[in-house]
Amino acid sequence: MNVLPVILWSDALVWLMALAALVLGLLSRRQPPLAAAWRRVGRSRPGMAAATVVAVFVVVGLLDSLHYRPALDTPAAGASAAPAYAIETLSVLDALAVPLRLRGEKTYSAPLATHAFAKETQEIRAADGSVQQVRDFPRLRFGGAHLLREEAPAEATDGDTANANAGVSRRTADPSATTDASPVSSAMAPSALPATSAMSEKAAALAAARQYDISRRVGVAVLSALIVWAGVVVWVVQLLARRESLAFAEVGRRLWRGETVFAWRAVLLTLAAIALVVAPMLALAGDYHVFGTDKVGQDVFYQVLKSVRTALVIGLVTTLTTLPLAIFFGLAAGYFRGWIDDLIQYLYTTLNSIPGVLLIAAAVLMMQVLIDTHPQWFATAAERADLRLLALCFILGLTSWTGLARLLRGEAMKLRELEFVQAAQSFGVSDLRIIARHILPNVMHIVVIALVMDFSSLVLAEAVLSYVGIGVDPTMISFGTMINNARLELAREPAVWWSLAAAFTFMVALVLAANLLADAVRDAFDARLVGSS
Amino acid sequence: MSHEIDFAVQPRQTPPRGESVLSVRGLRTGFAAGRTTLTAVAGIDFTLHAGETFALLGESGCGKSVAALSLMRLLPPAGRILGGEVRFAGRDLLRLSEAEMRAVRGRGVSMIFQEPATSLNPVLRVGEQIIEALPGGMGRADARERALALLAAAGIADPARRIDAYPFQMSGGMKQRVMIAEALAGEPQVLIADEPTTALDVTIQAQILDLLARLQAERGMGILLITHDLGVVARAAQRVGVMYAGEIVEEAPRAMFFAAPRHPYTRKLFAALPDGVGRGHRLETIPGQVPPLSAMPAGCRFAPRCAHAETRCTLAAPAWREVAPGHRVRCHRVDEVALAASAVSAPLAAEMAASGTAQAAHVGSAASSQEFRIQEFTAQEAAVQVSAVQVSSIVPEGTEVGSALTAPSPLLEVRDLAVHFPIRQGWLRRAVGAVRAVDGVSLALERGRTLALVGESGCGKTSVGKAVLQLIASTAGEVKLDGRILTGLSRSALRPLRRRMQMVFQDPFASLNPRLSVGEIIAEGMQALGLGRAEASPAAAVAALLAQVGLDPAAAGRYPHEFSGGQRQRIAIARALAVQPELIVCDEPTSALDVSVQAQILNLLGSLQADLGLAYLLITHNFAVVEHLAHEVAVMYLGRIVERGTVGEVLHSPRHPYTQALLAAVPRIGSADEAPPPALSGEMPSPANPPAGCHFHPRCPRAGAECRTAYPAPVAVSATHTVYCVLNAR
């Protein structure tokens, strides 16, 4: 396929960070204390289970960070003409999730539903050719559309089928046009009885078919997930057996009893749990809306997947902004003391004394005005949303470095009195070099701990800010915007709960996993705890 | 519960003297490490009698503190008591429930710890902490009365005022007294004192040991004294048990112990003491180190390091042998060892060969357990290497060193050096006073000589060392290195001079950056000062330096945490040597090390001085080290030098009352049977507010009226011996 790769700023940063994490990982292999600490993380069972969950989220996020613009089909233009590219910026995840992305319904539908959530007035052509108006829940265009398909297309009105066949995105469809267009006509009444009985028969058949189809798919998915998982287990055991040159059965027994140094059992069990949850979802996602659809008919599962990247970018890019500031100011204040310390302390006490949300709101609003008055800066909407996301990250970062800086200042004050620093001073080593060589490596454990602990709080901060309306661009899907949109839906009767529930579940899963991982990392890196255990 | 009532209600009966109050049989304690348990205390037996002090003597890591904590059942979470019996008041403490045990702690057995600064809660008044430790059912007024009595008993002057003080308002010695008062609150029959004086100065140590002896005499307590210091044992204990690698290897009454130690390990410990051995003599050392818990040798645990070891020592653990009444030893070859000692110089070659094979056996066992150990060169080997390699290649100006010795101008000259730290108050941070850490110190040090700076903690001796190296700014006075004034020089101007003077620090665990490899640590100075060593690449230079300090050159790729304290101190010395300095400031270079390791480091420092012509400014509080290493001594008190002279003059005929008191406070092994002299009373005043006149007069037993009015002028006793005391003027 002919595509134009697009590198958004946040993509570059996300991949840069993935690369940096890789390099850091390789570097810490050479540093025995750090390597030992990471090995302790590897031994922690909850930590490694959480890491597995986080890794799945990270893979989704990374797939969503490879952007491109597809080429438009321009049959008229010759080969010589420059290829035209769609205005829409897509990611690899979008390409993989085409069924989710393109199969929009008109409006709300419950998870795994075959019919819409609200009644509509439909025109049904009877056998004698007369047109009847019926008010009922319409079949969904895509959700469970393959069930009893032979009747469905014939029954549907021309307009609807045409609309569905075109498969144009949901934007072109006007949901309000067809729903509840007219009040129920009295002409319908005489023939209502036979029609409804026939319809209820059909509905029962459809429900049975749906039931059967879903359980068949779930069954197949669970089975294949288990088979794949078993394959992974065998592969891991073989790998371990080869590396430690032990018998296959022996390694298997150790792994089963959780006696391996690396917490393989926790990782594999988590993988099994993930596979058992994800495989049925994937199997159903092709023809159903697993988590239903939202107000404009967009699949909630797709929204959840897209939110993962936003959360990761917020969490990671913000930390990237925070770290240099916190490390530089914290270490400089603690090492140099005197007026430098005073200056930095005044800076962060001032920052800390302004309510954080107000500061962020002010900055975000200013930035929004800037973006709105300069539309020419952005080629696509995606670029604009991306820049807004990054700006949010920087604003969050600029306001949240103070905590870590204060921690590092205290630690640097302690370290500068240590004798190896004085030994370096007696060699006439320059101050910046002492900070880089003697102080920074000795506070890295604090930095690592702060990094993983802050991640989850930043993801939650985004949700709060988007809820308040000063978060990410409204066109950008994030947990915060999902929750914000779902707010009003809860007031409906019956409530539309799935949008909120899906956003909530996934966000909690991500944050909980990140927190558990943070705990394991802290336990492994904190020297005091290491000594006691 | 009945026991608890017993303890609370029964009037305290002093058990008759000589009756056993605590008897330990086969106590075994270990630490859970993963799925295995490492045994730290491997079956120790001892009995403690009422009114008696039993000392558990041993080097760090031999399990003596773990044994004490096991008795109290206060082990850290990973600790496990694996077996044995601790009989106290007719019951086995190891079988009591936790609730019953709580009634025993404090009231039956109580404990004082090494570090008084951390064993008191900083946010509670000391009175509250003592009242907390009193048995329940006492009224407020009664409890306070009792606490006052306890503080008075612990030798706190003016207890009525001190009872409402916070720990930070007290000095270390006073805190330890409060801790003792707290331990006495429950009227215990047994007091466990875990290194009670290690963190204190000699004068305070003498006070605390006297206090413990007095309290013991009054109350008839049994004291279990845990220490690494033979001097403390000599001063305070009646019976001694020597621990090595989790076992007691020798047990004897004090007199017999000091007169005729029988176990090879004990004998080596005595030989390693720098006491009495004159300067220039090589101290005996114990090759190797205490084996790690994970790789305990089978058979006798000392065998891999023992000069007398033979095959049966490595096969079977020796049984107890009673060599004299009350004197027991665990050694297969007690008789041969005694014989070898009586024939004064046993054939050295055979001994060396034996230690060589033992060393090899030790390395082999370590390798099998996959535990990395740097094979430590014996000091003799290191010395051979140094003399063979270094004199010509590393110090090409070696010949000049000799001539410089006779040259009149000293290498280091300090004149009227003062270091004041301002005390700032108010929110404008105005200086309202100054801590006069160093207040007019003058010194001179020639090449190849050692000047020891002696004094109690807080007297400013470390500040002098750092001011000499320009690590802290001096307030007044000047420091001259080889005729060039260092004070007031800019950083860049100082830089070329930095390579001529270096420092070796006290704590080998804090002085090496844990994140850098040994090679990087040693090479740092050469890089920073832009020194390309003439002969070869930095790696080769590092290897040569490691060999010079007696370490395997392969150590360059390892990290500090893989080394023992003594090895780390060698690395620190190598780092200082890397820039080929002429002057090394040694700040308490051995105070964090065990006796046997201290001997290795002292030998190394001595041989380096002989070979490289280094000058040492030795900062220490340990007179034994001074006697062994120094040529001249300067005694500091409260920022000023009170007496200065050669080692012989100052140590053997001290003229200043402070020097005399300091020397008297040092526990001497030779004087074990004599009554210890009275300890110096009081503590050093704050250097922020020194007393008028002679700084020492408030503590001086011989102070007269003129001492209170003016600081005494120097009195020259001889050409080299000066003392600042009016008593000597007459």
Looking at beta carbons, which residues of chain B come within 8 Å of A424?
Answer: 524, 528
B693 and B592 share a domain?
yes
Model pLDDT for residues A100-156, shown as the tens digit of each residue: 888 878 888 888 888 778 787 877 777 777 887 878 777 777 777 777 654 444 444
CATH code (residue A465): 1.10.3720.10
Q: What is the pLDDT of residue A77?
A: 52
B242 and B354 share a domain?
no
Question: Is B495's CB within 8 Å of A32's CB?
Answer: no
List the beta bridge partners of residue B412: B445, B481
A460 and A387 share a domain?
yes
A32 CB within 8 Å of a chain B CB: yes
Q: How many Å apart are CA B290 and CA A533, to the nearest integer?
A: 24
Q: How many Å apart are CA B598 and CA B277, to the nearest integer?
A: 14
Chain B interface, mutation test: which of A43, A421, A427, A431, most B Cβ atoms within 10 Å? A427
Buried b (16+ CB within 10 A) or exposed e, B652-673: eebbbbbbbbbbbbbbbbeebe
Peptide bond into B16 cis (omega under 30): no
B40 and B77 share a domain?
yes
In angstroms, what separates the C-alpha of B697 from chain A's closest C-alpha? 34
pLDDT of A412 above 90? yes
Cα-atom radius of gyration of chain B, to the nearest Å? Answer: 27
Model pLDDT for residues A225-277, shown as the tens digit of each residue: 999 999 999 999 999 888 888 888 888 888 888 778 888 889 999 999 999 99
Residues in chain B with pLDDT values less than 70: 1-18, 275-280, 341-408, 531-536, 670-679, 729-730
Strand ranges for B516-579 from DSSP E: none
Q: How many Å apart are CA B636 and CA B551, to the nearest integer?
A: 35
B249 and B269 share a domain?
no
A180 and A287 share a domain?
yes
Q: How many Å apart are CA B317 and CA B193, to the nearest integer?
A: 30
Question: Is B528's CB within 8 Å of A427's CB?
Answer: yes
**Interface contacts A/B by beta carbons within 8 Å:** 73
Question: Is B503's CB within 8 Å of A442's CB?
Answer: no
Question: Is B494's CB within 8 Å of A428's CB?
Answer: yes
DSSP A109: B
Judge whether B548 lies within some domain.
Answer: no
What percentage of chain A reaches a pLDDT higher than 90? Answer: 19
A494 and A363 share a domain?
yes
pLDDT of A32 above 80? no
B15 and B90 share a domain?
yes
Measured in residues, chain B has a length of: 730
A112 and A230 share a domain?
yes
Looking at beta carbons, which residues of chain B come within 8 Å of A427?
Answer: 498-499, 502, 524-525, 528-529, 579
Which residue, A242, A269, A298, sits at the end of a domain?
A: A298
A215 and A235 share a domain?
yes
Where in the sequence is the domain holding A201, given as residue range(s)? Answer: 106-298
Q: What is the pLDDT of residue B278?
A: 61
Question: Is B528's CB within 8 Å of A424's CB?
Answer: yes
Question: Is B515's CB within 8 Å of A532's CB?
Answer: no
Question: Is A422's CB within 8 Å of B491's CB?
Answer: no
Sign of CA dihedral B527, B530, B533, B537: positive
Q: How many Å apart are CA B434 and CA B422, to the nearest integer?
A: 4
Sheet-wide strand order for A90-91: A3-6, A67-70, A90-91
A461 and A322 share a domain?
yes
In angstroms, what separates the C-alpha of B365 from chain A's closest C-alpha? 23
CB atoms within 10 A of CB B399: 12
Chain A, 419 to 478: residues with Cβ < 8 Å from chain B are 419-420, 422-430, 433, 437-438, 441-442
DSSP string of A322-355, one letter each residue: HHHHHHHHHHHHHHH-HHHHHHHHHHHHHHHHS-
Tokens encoding B380:
């003799």
B343 and B457 share a domain?
no
Question: Is B506's CB within 8 Å of A441's CB?
Answer: no
Q: What is the pLDDT of residue B595?
A: 81
Which residue, A298, A324, A357, sits at the end of a domain?
A: A298
A317 and A237 share a domain?
no
Q: What is the pLDDT of residue A104?
A: 79
Q: Which of B495, B513, B521 lies closest to A428 in CB terms?
A: B495
Question: Is A418's CB within 8 Å of B502's CB?
Answer: no
B344 and B488 share a domain?
no
Residue of A109, A114, A112 lying closest to A205 (CA atoms): A114
Distance of CA A480 to the CA centre of its chain: 11
CA-to-CA separations, A477 to A224, A386, B103, in angstroms, rounded: 31, 11, 64
Tokens encoding B321:
């042998």
pLDDT of A190 above 60? no
A259 and A226 share a domain?
yes
Q: What is the pLDDT of residue B172?
A: 82
Report how many domains make up chain B.
4
Q: Which of B77, B521, B528 lies closest to A532 in CB terms?
A: B77
Q: Is residue B592 a contact partner of residue B551, using CB atoms and an 8 Å limit? A: no
Q: What is the pLDDT of residue B617?
A: 95
Report how many domains make up chain A.
2
A441: nearest CA in chain B?
A: B515
The per-residue pLDDT of chain A, averaged, comes to 81
Q: What is the pLDDT of residue B372?
A: 38
Question: Is A418's CB within 8 Å of B494's CB?
Answer: no
B10 and B83 share a domain?
yes
Which residue, A277, A298, A319, sits at the end of a domain?
A: A298
- Long-range CB contacts for residues A32-35, cutoff 8 Å, separation at least 24: A32/B559, A32/B561, A33/B514, A33/B515, A33/B559, A33/B561, A34/A444
A283 and A316 share a domain?
no
Judge whether A224 lies within some domain.
Answer: yes
Looking at beta carbons, which residues of chain A come within 8 Å of B511?
Answer: 418-420, 423
Which residue, B185, B219, B249, sits at the end of a domain?
A: B185
Question: Is B510's CB within 8 Å of A438's CB?
Answer: no
Judge whether B395 lies within some domain.
Answer: no
Region of poorest pLDDT, from A47-61, A352-366, B39-53, B633-647: A352-366
A328 and A251 share a domain?
no
Judge whether A13 lies within some domain.
Answer: no
The better pLDDT of the pair A431, B397 is held by: A431
Q: What is the pLDDT of residue B585?
A: 94
Judge whether B175 lies within some domain.
Answer: yes
Where in the sequence is the domain holding B159, given as residue range(s)? Answer: 113-185
CA-to-CA separations, A456 to A246, A460, A472, B175, B283, in angstroms, rounded: 40, 6, 17, 45, 60
Question: Is B561's CB within 8 Å of A427's CB?
Answer: no
CB atoms within 10 A of CB B338: 15
CATH code (residue B648): 3.40.50.300
A274 CB within 8 Å of a chain B CB: no
Sheet-wide strand order for B320-324: B109-112, B190-194, B222-227, B53-57, B239-244, B247-253, B327-330, B320-324
Judge whether A98 lies within some domain.
Answer: no
Q: How many Å apart are CA A463 and CA A85, to the nearest integer?
A: 33
Collapse the DSSP code of B242 into the 3-class scheme (helix H, G, I; strand E, B; otherwise coil) and give the result: strand
B126 and B139 share a domain?
yes
Judge whether A339 lies within some domain.
Answer: yes
H/E segment holding residue A510: helix A498-525
Residue of B529, B650, B532, B550 lying closest to B607 (CA atoms): B550
In angstroms, what separates the C-alpha of B64 from chain A's closest C-alpha? 19
Judge whether A188 lies within some domain.
Answer: yes
Looking at beta carbons, which residues of chain A come within 8 Å of B529?
Answer: 427-428
DSSP string of B13-30, one letter each residue: PPPPTTSEEEEEEEEEEE
Q: Which residue type sits at B27?
A: L
Judge whether A60 lies within some domain.
Answer: no
B558: nearest CA in chain A?
A: A32
